[in-house]
Structure 1
């Protein structure tokens, strides 16, 4: 029962983030700039993938050349590749946007969550570390999502259990990315941040799954990005920092 309450509270922090940026429209507009840049890059990449998915599917399935139903099979593989690319885009959108807009989102996070004792460093010093941490996070994401991708071809399980697990994995790691700013401002290293989030799994999942589901909707990811950063700052300040 407590886990359900914590999960719901995690979703609530995302909604609080929307409330904060809605009351502070200047910060919302400020946070949209890097999100729009990243979104344009992803749109081009997904259009390219969509146009070439069938060719990629044919290249990956030479063993199906003699099958009578190879066209149907390759169409399904192409669709799976596109949706896999879409899911990967959702997962990596946050990391790429934060990397592009780190100076923007550091200021936004600081405006939401003011600290008396802040471990502040110039963005050009923190950027390489942020990119390295994002690559480590991406490694863990792929460690889970690649097996889930292949499990998705299993009838029934692939259409029911796998999407739920995928949303949970993606949601958790989105929370990892979004809370990094607030935790780094508290001087917390990557291992400490992971440990803290694992100790608050339900809250982390509630927040991250809400972000993940909204980020699946085109353009919503851009509009919601500043709210996600604000909500993550509130989550760290209210729920996570109390047990640090």
Structure 2
């Protein structure tokens, strides 16, 4: 029961992020800039993948050349490749947007989570570390999601269990990315941040799954990104910073 309450409170922090940017409209507009840039990059990449999925599927399945149903098989592979690319785009959108918008979101996070003392460093010094941490997080994501991708082809399991597990895993790592700014301002290294979020898993999952679900809707990711950053700062300030 407590886990459910913590999960619900995690969702609530995301909603609080929307409330914060609604009251501070200039920060919402400020946070849209890097999200728009990242979105444009992904649109171009997905259009390229969609128009070349058939050729890529044929390249990856030379063993099917003699099959009578090779066209149907390669169509399914092409669809799977595009859906996999779309899922990867959702998973990496936050990391890329935060990397592009490091100075933007650092200021937005600091405005939502005002500290008396903080580990304040110029963004150009923290950017290489942030990119490295994001790449490590991406490796962890792929470690979980690649097996789930193949399990998605298993009847019944692929249509029921896999989407739920995928949303939970993706949600947790989205929370990892989004809370990085607020936790780094408290001087916490990557291993410390992971340990803290694992110790507060239900809240982290509630927040991240809510973000993940909205980010699946086209264009909503752009609008919701500033709210996600603000909500993550509020989650850290109210729940994580006071955790034992």
TM superposition score category, shorter chain reference: over 0.9
Q: TM-score, normalised by structure 1?
A: 0.99
Following the alignment from structure 2 to structure 1, what is the Cα–Cα distance between the partners of residues 160 and 67?
Answer: 28
Partner of 2:34: 34
Cα deviations by residue, 1:191-241 (Å, 9 ceiling, x for unpaired): 000000000111101100110111011110000000000000000011111
The match for 2:77 is 77
Distance 2:52 2:240 in 1: 44
1:118 corresponding residue in structure 2: 118
Secondary structure (helix, strand or coil) at the match of 2:66 reads: coil
The aligned runs of 1:4-153 (5 Å cut-off) are 4-153=4-153
Q: Secondary structure of 1:142's partner?
A: helix
In structure 2, how many angstroms separate the alpha carbons of the residues matched to 1:73 and 1:169? 29
For 2:228, the equivalent position in structure 1 comes to 228
Residue 102 of structure 1 and its aligned partner are, at CA, apart by 0.4
Question: Separation in 2 of the partners of 1:207 and 1:222?
Answer: 17
Deviation string, structure 1 residues 73-120 (Cα, Å, up to 9, x no partner): 111111111111001001100000000000000000000000011100
CA distance in 2, matches of 1:193, 1:71: 47
Q: How many Å separate the matches in 2 of 1:123 and 1:211?
A: 25
| 5+ long unaligned stretches in structure 1 | none
Between the aligned partners of 2:3 and 2:52, the Cα distance in structure 1 is: 43
Q: CA–CA distance in 1 between the matches of 2:23 and 2:146?
A: 40
TM-superposed deviation, 1:155? 0.8
How many pairs does the alignment contain? 244
Distance 1:13 1:87 in 2: 24
Distance in 2 (alpha carbons) for counterparts of 1:212 and 1:97: 14
Give the match's secondary structure for 1:30.
helix
How far does residue 69 in structure 1 lie from its aligned partner after superposition?
1.4
In 2, the alpha carbon distance for the partners of 1:80 and 1:43 equals 18
TM-score by length of 2: 0.99
The whole-number CA distance in structure 1 between the counterparts of 2:82 and 2:206 is: 26
**1:38-76 residue CA offsets vs partner (Å, 9 max, x unmatched):** 000000000000101111111111111122211111111
**How many Å separate the matches in 1 of 2:69 and 2:54?**
15
1:194 aligns with 2:179: no
Tell me which residue corresponds to 1:237: 237
**2:19 counterpart SS class:** helix
